[in-house]
Structure 1
Amino acid sequence: MKLLSIVILLCLLIVLFCSLVSGDTVSKPLVDVIYSGGKGDHSFIDSSYRGLTQAEETFSFTTQEYSIMNASADPAPELIGPAGETPSMVLLVGSPLSTMAQTIADSNPTLPVIALDTDPLVGDNTRTIMFPMYGSSYLAGIIAADETDTGKVAVLAGRDNALMSEFIKGFSAGVNQSGRELSVTTAYVADDNSGYWSPDKAAAIARNLSANGTDVIFTVAGGSGTGVIEYARNTSGLKIIGVDSDQSVLGPDVVVASVLKNLDQVVYREISSVMEGNFTPGTELSGLAENGSGIVINPNFGNLSSLIADRYGEATEAENRSRS
């Protein structure tokens, strides 16, 4: 009889422990993060992920992550947690997810839906952060004009769309301010979103540009840019300006600078706003003046730092004019 009582007590303790553990899991807020593309791009997605991990170190929440490779064909993921709970917020990262973000917001009118680098969302439960890139690309153009020996520079973009157009216009304006007779070539990796994760194809285009005398390439192609940097590492005289993250680690001797979207900071800030109960709907522009974008110089090309410092205000003014 005494042994039976001990067994029953142990069973009750196990049930209580499991209940507490399960309750703790359910009580944590659930954050769903949807990426346009996969991790390991050393660019856009990886920068966003750094912000997520920083937020996980500060706040207690459960995370579900999804990678959408084809936003036009792949359905929105089911936003249900492991214990059947609904998320406290959904964060979508990348312009191809604009339609998906709006669909999720419309279907869940009380759910905070935050989209980074997409078209503006509509609804009292939505927040969109847009990154004007004209100013930081203008600085990239100044660098390209300073670094080219052949007088031929290029932008290698993921695809042709409005977002890429802003990079190209800013870069071209920065190149043209030099007063030198320089040519700017624009090339696209693909005519769809596969242009952001096709490094082999991007490397082949870089090879053609280099063969035609181009000696500075501004890569605006997400994960495809890794192929361009790898090609440049084995090509004498070719310099690269990276994008979204500091990509000098991929090519310390060839990546002179990287144009940044400070996605890690923005992701951390937006998750914090929900965790702290300060979510605010609306659309925000976060460019050069707001520290949402910028440029980082590879220390191996430290002579460029003073050049950029002297021209930063000029680039900010150029971006402000481009917004009007």
Structure 2
Amino acid sequence: MDRKYLILSVIVAAVIVLAVAVAVSMLPHEPAANTVYIVYGSEKGDLSYTDSAYQGLAAAQEKFSLATREFIPSDYETLPAILNTTKGSERPGLIITVGFQYAGFTRQLAQQYPDIEFLAIDQSGTGSGNTRSSEITSYGDSYLAGVLAASASKTGRVGIIMGMQSDVLDAFLDGYTDGARAVNSSISVDPAYVHQYTTNGFSDPTVAGQVAEGMYRNGTDVIFACAGYSNTGVFDAANTTPGRYAIGTDSDQSPLGPQFVLASAVKRVDRVVYTGIADHLNGSFTGGNQVTGLNEGVTGIVYNPKFAFYNETVNAWKTQAQESEEKYLVSRTKPVQK
């Protein structure tokens, strides 16, 4: 081959390689299918909602080859900047946000990063093409907690302490009240919040304990604790007040009060997290809005062995709880202001 044509061929090849490299660099960053980010609603160690989400992640890590990165409320706002600079295998294919407080944040991220899939837990109505909104309604299991409280109460006065006021917590309150009054129409149900308008209510056991002490002094003998880590304050109050009991939430909290925690209304956040990761990895992940609860086995009652004798009494109300949950969910779709 003529030397002139050889040099020309090399130059042409080099130009082609350079053009391809530039074109590839201009393409959107391809997320790594096996990298998952998760944003918790509180720090791990709450013995409740967040720990259940982590258990789902841990189960997925055992089952699949998976790289993960975890965020908490104090650092989740760094996520957009991280996504803008992260490439290759460190870039997530799935981001999980856990908690109603992230609804706006998740929606914004999903719009900015359509190449990433999102699992939004307890963020009603945020579903889209790349976002699965997985709402776990706690109406049904809270209904059964109300049945249990009314069945166990000797004073005819029961209470519920919530971390804060929100649509998600409204399901706890409504279900618990309806269940208790199904058993005893004249029972008093006293609601209270640790911090009504801030998520700090899920991490303040001192204030929760003070609220519980006041309730117990006023004759409430069973409290449904729906406040994350703040539940431990309720349990401390029950422990120091004879004849007073509590019902836990999200995870089995009987070990935290084996003498006074009657049962726990569990919310299988772990199952939702695990299923979302598995679906993402096997290519079956879809967006949209999902609502699960008692009928799907995602919520339920787990009894303290010491008080397992209540199982038969409460289980007799399960069908009614399921039917009431269905009606409750239908009623939420109606454009009626509370």
Aligning the two structures, in what range does the TM-score lie when normalised by the shorter sequence? 0.7 to 0.9
Q: Distance in 1 between matches of 2:275 and 2:75?
A: 27
Whether 2:238 is the aligned partner of 1:232: answer: yes
CA RMSD in angstroms, aligned pairs only: 1.9
Letter in 2 for 1:192: T
Whether 2:71 is the aligned partner of 1:66: answer: yes
**Structure 1, unaligned stretches of length 5 or more?**
1-25
Match of 1:48 in 2: 53
- How much identity, in percent, do the aligned residues show? 36
Match of 2:315 in 1: 309
How many aligned residue pairs are there?
297
Per the TM alignment, residue 249 of structure 1 is displaced from its structure 2 partner at its CA by 0.9
Whether 2:337 is the aligned partner of 1:320: answer: no
Per the TM alignment, residue 226 of structure 1 is displaced from its structure 2 partner at its CA by 1.3
Match of 2:334 in 1: none
Q: Distance in 1 between matches of 2:166 and 2:56?
A: 26
Q: Give the TM-score taking structure 1 as reference length.
A: 0.87
Q: Distance in 2 between matches of 1:92 and 1:109?
A: 16
Q: 1:57 aligns with which of 58, 62, 65?
A: 62
Q: Distance in 1 between matches of 2:121 and 2:127?
A: 14
Per the TM alignment, residue 48 of structure 1 is displaced from its structure 2 partner at its CA by 0.6
Deviations 1:135-166 (A, max 9, x none): 11110000000111111100101111211111
Per the TM alignment, residue 323 of structure 1 is displaced from its structure 2 partner at its CA by 1.3
Q: Distance in 2 between matches of 1:299 and 1:56?
A: 31
Structure 2 counterpart SS, 1:29: strand
Match of 1:283 in 2: 289
Match of 1:294 in 2: 300
Structure 2 counterpart SS, 1:283: strand
Structure 1 counterpart SS, 2:72: strand
Kindly tell me: are residues 211 and 282 of structure 1, through their superposed partners in 2, closer, same or farther at Cα, counting changes over 3 Å? same
Match of 1:256 in 2: 262
Deviates more, 1:113-122 or 1:140-149: 113-122
Deviations 1:238-284 (A, max 9, x none): 10011100000111111101111111111111100011111111111
Structure 2 matches for 1:180-191, cutoff 5 A? 181-190=186-195, 191=197
Structure 2 matches for 1:1-324, cutoff 5 A? 29-69=34-74, 74=77, 76=79, 78-79=82-83, 85-179=90-184, 181-190=186-195, 191-324=197-330
Q: Give the TM-score taking structure 2 as reference length.
A: 0.84
Kept in 2: contact 1:158–1:195 (CA 8 A): yes
Kindly tell me: are residues 142 and 122 of structure 1, through their superposed partners in 2, closer, same or farther at Cα, counting changes over 3 Å? closer
Match of 1:14 in 2: none
Deviates more, 1:57-66 or 1:121-130: 121-130
Q: Distance in 1 between matches of 2:32 and 2:108?
A: 27
Letter in 2 for 1:271: I
Kept in 1: contact 2:33–2:93 (CA 8 A): no
Structure 1 counterpart SS, 2:183: coil
Kept in 2: contact 1:64–1:81 (CA 8 A): no
Deviations 1:158-200 (A, max 9, x none): 1112111111111111111123531010101102111111111
Match of 1:22 in 2: none
Kindly tell me: are residues 27 and 115 of structure 1, through their superposed partners in 2, closer, same or farther at Cα, counting changes over 3 Å? closer
Letter in 1 for 2:188: S
Per the TM alignment, residue 123 of structure 1 is displaced from its structure 2 partner at its CA by 2.6
Deviations 1:292-321 (A, max 9, x none): 211111111011111122111111011111
User: Which one has a bigger Cα radius of gyration?
Assistant: 2
Structure 1 counterpart SS, 2:317: helix
Per the TM alignment, residue 112 of structure 1 is displaced from its structure 2 partner at its CA by 0.3
Q: Distance in 1 between matches of 2:125 and 2:72?
A: 21
Letter in 2 for 1:128: S
